[in-house]
Amino acid sequence: MALGRPAALFQVLPVDELRWEDMSAGRVHDLGENLTMATRSAADSTLAAAPLPDRIRHRFPIFERRLYVNSCSQGALSDAVRAAYEQYLADWDEKGAPWEYWVERGEAARATFARLVNAAPDEVAVTTSLSAGVSGLASGLRYARRSKVVLTDWEFPTIGQIWHAQEARGARVVHVPEAADGTIPLEHFDRAIDDDTLLVSITHVCYRNGAKLDVEAVTRLAHERGALVLLDAYQSIGSLPVDVRELDVDFLAAGVLKYLLGSAGLAFFYACRELVERVWPTATGWFADRDIFAMDHRDYSPAPTASRFQSGTPPIPAIYAGIAGMELMEEIGIAETREHVLGLHTRLLDGLDALGARAATPREPERRGALLCVASTDAPALVAALDRDGIVTSSRAGNLRISPHAYNSVEDVDGVLDALARNRRLLA
């Protein structure tokens, strides 16, 4: 999927202005083509050297009307995702019920996500939500030999609710608290993980304060004590590189709704190949079967791959959109996005300091995700005030959430700071 380029960068001189008196028509044509290619090459170089938002912002029409810094809730709508939904409708209209093709689209989504996290496609399940994938895992574990599930106080409600639901099946749920500075030190995990721990369920980036967990350190500790690790990467995927091999997690759940620029209704669940057949999900559906087209209602034979964590009919429209969003983020570059956003954070933090505001997110770049939170005396009122200024944000736990992405610019940060200055009374 090629990023759009300004038409002005492709001016080509008319061929008749390039004639030499001894040049044949063929050579004139060749020279014209060569200069066209050279001009395009120069244009590509100019485009590549431009700041990241300058190269891509035109793909997101909302910036014609609003200042959007709310990717922690929902990525901005791109022209690619809009076109993908239109293509879904066109395919439905033209082909009627092309289920074989739609299943292929699901496989394409699986492969794309697998590529993003450095997994094999057969280690990835296509689900309708993070909740669906994690429920499949929770239902497939047995809480007999080991019964403890360790969570953190950073978890999104769905994670806590799913694991506490397993208490009826013998699970014992323990929460790891955060420290006074809003982080979770490794020693807190050290006190919680023991030889009765079956699984440690952690979140990569906290949705309430933007703090980032040292996943590798927690995973090493858990594995040393014989426990499995599940990572909720919903608030990190697409905003920073996520590699399941480097993180060494056993399971990972994430969706495309936020920094992967897709829409609601599509998520993925990664399961390390060596562990897949050790889990026997009882929360299931026909797309988890070994052969979905066998249509067998007298047997439960889950797929030998991570597909066993799937359930019912897949979310076909969201799959079209999800592929478009993921491919666009691949084109933009996730590592470059991370560096760009950290630069915007520096400007934002300096501005907050000048206003006397308090950031609720850790200052150290390695300890935060893309989300940066600001303490407020009335966060919903501050969100509403910014909205009246045309700025889209959100709030959680008394904090204003500002989450820049690849398409945001220095000017956006300055616009947010100007608006905060006008509403200084709402800053804690």
pLDDT of 381: 98
Residue 298 is classified by DSSP as S
Per DSSP, what are the bridge partners of residue 396? 399
> Is residue 61 domain-shared with residue 117, that is, in the same domain?
no
* Enclosing domain of residue 349: 52-76+333-426
Q: How confident is the model at residue 415 (pLDDT cuts 50, 70, 90)?
A: very high
Return the pLDDT at 293: 84
Cβ proximity of 275 and 123 under 8 Å: no
Tell me which residue of 226, 257, 250, 251 sits closest to 321, measured CA to CA: 257
The reply to whether 293 falls in a domain is yes
| Residue at which a domain ends, from 330, 351, 379 | 330
Go through 190-220 and write b for each residue having 16 or more CB atoms within 10 A of its CB, e for each that does not: eebbeeebbbbbbbbbbbbbbbbbbbeebbe
Query: Which distant-in-sequence residues (6+ apart) come within 8 Å of 310 by Cβ?
Result: 125, 126, 127, 136, 285, 287, 288, 303
**Residue 270 backbone phi and psi in degrees, to 5:** -95, 135
- Identify the pLDDT of residue 39: 40
* Tokens encoding 304: 């030998």
Query: Residue 39 falls within a domain, yes or no?
Result: no
Residue 175 confidence (pLDDT) above 90: yes
Separation between Cα atoms, residue 237 and residue 115, nearest integer Å: 12
Average pLDDT, the chain: 90
Same domain? For 252 and 353 the reply is no
- Quick one: DSSP state of residue 7? G
In a domain, 46, yes or no: no
- Residue 12: exposed, middle, or buried by beta-carbon count in 10 A (0-12, 13-18, 19+)? middle
The verdict on 354 and 341 lying in the same domain is yes
Given a cut of 70, whether residue 40 has pLDDT beyond it is: no
Question: Cα torsion at 134, 138, 139, 143 (round to 10°)?
Answer: 170
Looking at the fold, whether 295 and 346 belong to one and the same domain comes out as no
**What pLDDT score was predicted for residue 4?**
36
* Residue 204: predicted pLDDT: 98
Confidence (pLDDT) at 391: 98
- Arithmetic mean of pLDDT, 304-328: 97
> Which residues, 6 or more positions from 352, have their beta carbon under 8 angstroms from its beta carbon?
358, 359, 374, 417, 420
Strands, E assignment, 77-134 = 124-127
93: pLDDT strictly greater than 70: yes
Q: In the predicted model, is pLDDT for residue 1 greater than 80?
A: no
Percent of the chain whose pLDDT exceeds 70: 88
Q: Is 164 found in the same domain as 239?
A: yes
Q: How far is CA 49 from CA 52, 172, 257, 408, in A?
A: 8, 54, 29, 17
Name the domain boundary from 330, 353, 371.
330
Domain membership of residue 110 (yes or no) is yes
DSSP 234: T
Cα separations in angstroms, 401 against 76, 151, 206, 244, 347: 15, 23, 11, 27, 16
Contact 354, 218 (CB under 8 A): no
pTM score of the predicted model: 0.87
9, part of any domain: no
Average pLDDT over residues 257-276: 98
Please determine, for residue 29, whether its predicted confidence score (pLDDT) is greater than 90: no
Q: Can you tell me the distance from the alpha carbon of 64 to that of 345, in angstroms, rounded to the nearest whole number?
A: 23
Question: For 202-225, what is the mean pLDDT?
Answer: 98
What's the pLDDT at 46? Answer: 40
Between 216 and 13, the more confident residue is 216
Contact residues for 309 (Cβ-Cβ < 8 A; gap 6+):
125, 127, 133, 136, 137, 140, 269, 271, 279, 281, 288
Do 244 and 384 fall within a single domain? no
Q: Is position 12 within any domain?
A: no
* CATH for 389: 3.90.1150.10
**Is residue 159 in some structural domain?**
yes
Q: Give the residue with greater pLDDT, 199 vs 14.
A: 199
Please count the structural domains in the chain: 2
| Burial (Cβ within 10 Å: 0-12, 13-18, ≥19) of residue 20 | exposed
Residue 181 sits in the same domain as residue 251: yes
Both 325 and 413 in one domain: the answer is no
Q: Based on the domain organization, do 324 and 338 belong to the same domain?
A: no
Same structural domain, 281 and 346: no
Task: Give me the mean pLDDT over the 96-103 stretch.
Answer: 94
Residue with structure tokens 């791109």? 78
Q: Using alpha carbons, select from 323, 284, 314 the residue that is nearest to residue 112.
A: 323
Q: Tell whether 96 and 138 lie within a shared domain.
A: yes
267-271/251-255 β-pairing: antiparallel
- Is the pLDDT at 19 greater than 80? The verdict is no
Average pLDDT over residues 210-238: 98
Single out the residue in 281, 303, 330 at which a domain terminates.
330
The answer to whether residue 20 sits within a structural domain is no
Of 42-51, 74-83, 107-116, 134-143, the range with the lowest mean pLDDT is 42-51
Q: What confidence score (pLDDT) does residue 48 get?
A: 52
pLDDT at 376: 98
pLDDT of residue 368: 97
- Say whether both 154 and 302 belong to one domain: yes
Determine the pLDDT at residue 297.
Answer: 93
Lowest mean pLDDT among 43-52, 148-157, 256-265: 43-52
200 forms bridges with which residues in the sheet? 150, 229
User: Per residue in 340-353, pLDDT tens?
Assistant: 999 999 999 999 99
Q: What pLDDT score was predicted for residue 284?
A: 95
> Is residue 85 pLDDT above 70, yes or no?
yes
